[in-house]
A = this chain, B = another copy of it.
Amino acid sequence: MADKAQLDAVLAQVDKDIDASLSRLFELIRIPSISTDPAYADHMRKAADWLKGQLHELDFDAGVRPTPGYPMVVGHAEGEGPHVLFYGHYDVQPVDPIELWNSDPFDPQLVDGKIVARGASDDKGQLMTFIEACRAWKAVTGKLPVKVSVLLEGEEESGSHSLPGFLDEAKAELKADIALVCDTDMWDPQTPSITTMLRGLVGEEVEITCASQDLHSGMFGNAARNPNQVLADIISSLRARDGSVTVPGFYDGVEDIPDSLRAQWDALGFDEKAFLGDVGLSIPAGEKGRSVLEQIWARPTCEINGMIGGYTGEGFKTVIPARASAKISFRLVAGQDPKKIREAFRAHVKALVPADCEVSFKEHGGSPAIALPLDGRFLNQAKQALSEEWGKETALTGSGGSIPVVGEFRRRLDMDSLMIGFALIDDRIHSPNEKYNLESFHRGIRSWVRVLASFA
């Protein structure tokens, strides 16, 4: 633990240097590093070089590492105590529809305390909070309080295709005691947050084939099996009347969240009515007796993402189609094995397909859920540090979606991640007029200063 006087000096340095910090962020934002569009390849390389330069300034042993796609920026700074790996990404989303922007997406503007630009929040503003925190430590103490490695990716917005291979290759140098991932939200503008749970995913496509050709429903209707009906029966069978998923063994290994976490979630004051009301709904659809927050963060689900069969154009056609298909995904929580869930689902479906019809399956990805141990030292130290900065208890949150890099760190580097971010729900990431509050940036830097101190 760094001493109080030293910490205060570093925080004061952050405050003193904030205008220069902002200038450096603006420099990075001005490089249009859109990874999905090959036309921006030169800018991608420029952004990676610029970041390597920043790390060099802080005496990191840093380099731009090639991959089959865009390069990784990797840097290492020696230090005492534990080893942390910081992850961020330097690529951004395309800017379309450009006509909805109030200013040039790559000419950052400070408007009413908000940095407006593509990447201002996702993820340039967020990753620079960490680099600027390192800069302040370095400026005041000449070194970092712990051993720090940095991994900055250039393909997060385009599928992270090079990441798994790169992690395997660079495992020895990247494996740390904990990963710090800065790509998430705060609970609200006053409440710092650490995301400790991410749901996993199993994606399946199922196709039912009945007759060998489309049939006329006058000629065959009743006697010929209708694959739309078979598929609807299957889909309907996936949920019980109480909202639970009926695939045999689906809840095996799923445990209720600890009482302490439940109490904390209850204290967050989540407004179920507003959450559903904002999208025009009012009645939670999942398992009865579970709060909405629990349903989306801590309970597994089955969703029909798409289904199609027969004639779906204008007007009417009295056809009995030969085929019908659906795309079905399961969001998983800790304790569920994606492979077992997939197998159980397929067995469940096969049992419902009439003997003279056929079923085929197509796999669309699978990953287990992430659940950080709630009694870990890094979690508790970071939680304390964030609470001190923001003057409010840190929220331990879940997320219904997934952040692939966290799964990859777990799977390939056997390493947990602390997901700490300062974005806000209204940052309009991926949309026109993306913004990052200056306060998010400034206090984000201060937060990382404290988190690094807490690990020392």
Contact = CB atoms under 8 A, between A and B. Distances in A.
Nearest to A227: B304
Contacts of A365: 316
A236 interface: yes
A420 interface: no
A415 to B, nearest CB: 23
Interface in A169-204: 199, 201, 203
Interface in A327-373: 327, 329, 331, 354-357, 364-365
A356 B224 contact: no
Nearest to A301: B222
A364 B315 contact: yes
A299 interface: yes
A28 interface: no
Contacts of A222: 284-287, 295-296, 299, 301, 303, 331, 400
Interface stretch (A95-103, A127-135, A209-217): A209-217
Nearest to A326: B228
A296 B221 contact: yes
Interface string A308-322: 111110011111110
Given A307-B307, A312-B307, A318-B305, A285 B223 contact: yes
Contact of A279 (B205, B220, B281, B327): B220
Contacts of A305: 217, 228, 310-311, 316-321
Interface string A203-245: 1010000111101111111111110110111011111000000
A306 B311 contact: yes
A275 interface: yes
B296 A306 contact: no
A280 interface: yes
A282 interface: yes
Given A211-B279, A318-B329, A219 B308 contact: no
Given A232-B235, A286-B223, A319 B306 contact: yes
A55 interface: no
Nearest to A402: B218
Contact of A310 (B212, B228, B315, B327): B327
A217 B318 contact: no
A315 B199 CA distance: 20
A20 interface: no
Contacts of A315: 364
A285 B236 contact: no
A160 interface: no
B309 A309 contact: no
Contacts of A215: 279
A13 B101 CA distance: 87
A90 B358 CA distance: 43
A53 interface: no
A292 interface: yes
A356 B312 CA distance: 25
A82 interface: no
A263 interface: no
A63 interface: no
- Give the interface centre of A199, A284, A309, A318 by most chain B CB atoms within 10 Å: A318
15 contacts: A211-B280, A217-B331, A218-B399, A220-B296, A220-B400, A225-B283, A233-B236, A303-B320, A305-B311, A305-B317, A306-B310, A311-B327, A315-B364, A317-B327, A318-B329
Given A216-B401, A217-B301, 5 more contacts: A222-B400, A223-B292, A223-B296, A281-B356, A307-B310
**10 residue pairs, one from A and one from B, having the closest CB atoms:** A218-B401, A212-B280, A236-B236, A232-B235, A222-B286, A228-B304, A306-B310, A222-B301, A316-B364, A222-B295
Interface of A: 199, 201, 203, 205, 210-213, 215-226, 228-229, 231-233, 235-239, 275-276, 279-287, 292, 295-296, 299, 301, 303-312, 315-321, 324-327, 329, 331, 354-357, 364-365, 399-402
